[in-house]
Amino acid sequence: MFRGHSSYINCVAVQDTYVITGGADSTIRKWDMTTCECLFVYEGHTSRIQKVLLTGDFLFSSSFDKTAKAWLFDVSELGEGNEERACIKTFKGHQKGVYPLIFIPSADELDEEESEGPTIRPGDILLTGSADNTARSWSVESSGCLKQFRGHTGAVTTMATDSSGKVLFTAGADSTIKSWNIQSAQLLKVTILVSVENSVDNSQIKIKSPYRILRVTLG
């Protein structure tokens, strides 16, 4: 059993023989899957952890503290007293809590000299969605914001990309799905989601969208 967080666990991810958990206690913990031993506590966020994302050498996290962070996954060489060095980047700019995360690795090949150890490449991109109704793209190398994706009227709670990593899909509290060109942040398409409810006697269907309610009488 994994014990250590002082409040509820909000997200979990697995890589190799390790389990990563993010808690409402503002910490991220790395566990040995076999022994359930807590190997490391990542500290730096100031509110609950929303999501953790593992990419091999790095761990990314989002938090209700309006930031995302990048951490070293392998912390074995940090040494005692250097735990704060595990956090290598902080992405600041959102006005409310940050929810989904997507990492898009650079398409550029690494030089042989750069391939040893964890390496951030100039083209590495992090995508974030937020309760401030926007998504953002970031340079992982500089931690600077590259583009803002504006158009939602509710929190952006989930995201995905196409297989090429060139189109971003965002969705959330406004019941719409939007697609964007990642490089330019141009809005490509909007899909309005609807909910369908049957009346108690099944004589009517109520179709709801953010903009109108349509009642259809059956039979």
Domain annotation for the chain: domains and CATH numbers: 1-92 (2.40.10.480)
Residues 29, 20 contacting (CB under 8 angstroms): yes
Classify 111 as helix, strand or coil. Answer: coil
* HSE-CB for 208 with a 13 A CA cutoff: 6
Q: What is the mean pLDDT of residues 139-147?
A: 98
C-alpha 124, offset from chain centre: 15
Average pLDDT (11-33) is 97
pLDDT of residue 113: 53
Per-residue pLDDT band at 217 (split at 50, 70, 90): very low
Write down the mean pLDDT value for the chain: 88
Taking the CA atoms of residue 125, residue 19, residue 34 and residue 9 in that order, the dihedral angle to the nearest 10 degrees is: 180
Q: What is the mean pLDDT of residues 172-176?
A: 90
Which strands, in side-by-side order, build the sheet including 204-208?
195-198, 204-208, 213-217
* pLDDT at residue number 213: 47
Contact between 14 and 7 under an 8 Å Cβ cutoff? The reply is no
Choice between 85 and 217, residue whose per-residue pLDDT is larger:
85
